[in-house]
Amino acid sequence: MGGDDRGGPRGPAGPCRRPGGPAPQQRPAAPPLPPSWPPGPTRPVRRGTAAPPPRANPPRPTALMPAAEPPRQRVADRPPVQPPRRPPAVRAPRRRGGWGRKLRVLLLVLLLAIAGFGVWVDTSLNRVDALPAESAGTGSGTNWLIVGSDSRAGLTAEQEKDLATGGDVGQRTDTIMLLHSGSSGPVLVSIPRDSYVSIAGHSRNKLNSAYAFGGAPLLVSTVEQATGLRIDHYAEIGFGGFVGAVDAVGGVDMCVPQAIKDPKAALNIKAGCQELDGATALGYVRTRATAGSDFDRVERQRAFLSALVKKATSPATLVNPFRVVPLTSAVTAAITVDESDHVWNLAGLGFAMRGISSGEGVTTTVPIGGTPTIGGQSVVQWDKTRAAALFTALENDQKPTGRALGP
């Protein structure tokens, strides 16, 4: 036991030797290995050559051995921490003139609509050659002759009955007013229709007879001759247009000083402030049932016309198409102007009347000298001195005062 195959005992270490034989030679001890051993696979060394020096490879990190951390920097040596920059937001390219362009287009469309509406109104006006070629009057400022005729044009037989206008027996002027506008403000003068004046080719007669004899041209020339003023514009409106204009603005508020009942004018109203519709308003300005007869009548006409124009030119009416369009249609269908008049002239008339209704102007009647009966009919005679003072002030574009004011 414990022997080799040759029968000799085996030592605990080393090669076996035979008993009694010489001791085996001992090999010299190998030099110590370098610290980085093993460097990896080695190359075979040829005999007679020196072995190459071992490679100095750094130790490989293993999963159990963490990599060495870099030396920490001091706080003072660290660079300042910059917040992360957000990439600039990508904005959609702004369209130049977006809202401004839309607003300009809207204003252009609105202006074109207004211009088109004005052209339509201007072409829809009824025109007549009312102003004479050679005027008999003079003066500064602008003078309008406003006439309310008793024309039944446009009224049906039922409407004539409801409005108590009677039959169309000769067309006459129911209302005559002179509107002067200039540097001294507007002045509205009522001229009684029964004024006893000279009419060319018809001797002396009532003023409204001139319209029956020769229409608007003869009426204008008669007023120019009686007043000495030049008439620049002419406007006439009949019964139907008057009623339509009042209804188009939704009625007119008036304070009636006393109750009036007049079957001839289809009028029955109580005293007090109230809203008058078209039919009631027509009877109110036509009636002669009051004690003052024609003088009360012209005052009512001036007051109502001012109230009507004030409401027709108010912002509540002008910006409301449901009112301004029917109003314009009613006026253009019934109003008659001179051949030279246009819609912008009517706008000037409206602004001048608005000055009257706001109290900036003067309202008066031609000064009256008496109401005699001539040829079996009652007429109105002017006070020549005071009437001359009134018309001289208007001729010089001055505001009449004192004795120049009537009646």
Does residue 403 belong to any structural domain of this protein?
A: no
| DSSP element (H, E) containing 116 | helix 98-124
- Predicted TM-score (pTM) of the model is 0.69
Q: Could you tell me if residue 267 is inside a domain? A: no
- Region 311-340: what's the mean pLDDT? 84
Q: Is residue 75 part of a domain?
A: no
Instruction: Give the rounded distance of the alpha carbon of 297 from its chain centre.
Output: 39
Flag whether 319 is in a domain: yes
Give the pair of three-digit tokens for residue 186: 């507007």
Cα→Cα distances 206→129, 143, 203, 324, 366, Å: 22, 22, 10, 37, 15
Residue 282 has what pLDDT?
A: 87
Q: What is the pLDDT of residues 210-229, one digit of tens each?
A: 998 999 999 999 999 999 99
Which of 256-270 are b and which e, b meaning 16 or more Cβ less than 10 Å from the residue's Cβ? eeeebebeebbbebe
Least confident of 57-61, 98-102, 144-148: 57-61
* Residue 196 DSSP symbol: E
Query: Are β-strands 362-365 and 187-190 bridged in parallel, bridged antiparallel, or unpaired?
Result: parallel
Provide the residue range defining the domain that includes 182: 128-253+287-398
Between CA 397 and CA 332 the distance in angstroms is 30
Q: What is the pLDDT of residue 206?
A: 92
What does the pLDDT read at residue 51? 58
Token digits of residue 260: 């009036």
CB atoms within 10 A of CB 163: 21
Domain count, the chain: 1
What percent of the chain clears pLDDT 70, i.e. is strictly above it?
Answer: 70
> Could you tell me which residue, 243 or 1, shows the higher pLDDT?
243
E strands along 231-331, which residues? 233-237, 252-256, 260-262, 267-269, 272-276
Least confidently predicted of 134-143, 193-202, 363-372:
134-143
Bridge partners (DSSP) of residue 338 are 128
Contacts of 323 (CB under 8 A, 6+ apart): 248, 249, 250, 316, 317
Instruction: Tell me if 137 sits within 8 A of 230, measured CB to CB.
Output: yes
If pLDDT is split at 50, 70 and 90, which confidence band does 272 have?
very high
What is the residue-wise DSSP string for 352-386? HHHHHHTTSSEEEEPPEEE--EETTEE-BEE-HHH
Residue 181 covered by a domain: yes
The answer to whether residue 270 sits within a structural domain is no
What is the CATH number for 358?
Answer: 3.40.630.190
Q: Determine, yes or no, domain membership for 230.
A: yes
CA angle 39, 44, 46 (to 5 degrees): 135
**Per residue in 171-207, pLDDT tens?**
667 789 999 999 889 999 999 989 999 999 898 999 9
CB half-sphere exposure, 60, CA atoms < 13 A: 6
- Cα separation, 102 vs 113, in Å, equals 16
12: pLDDT confidence band, cut at 50, 70 and 90? very low
Domain assignment present for 268: no
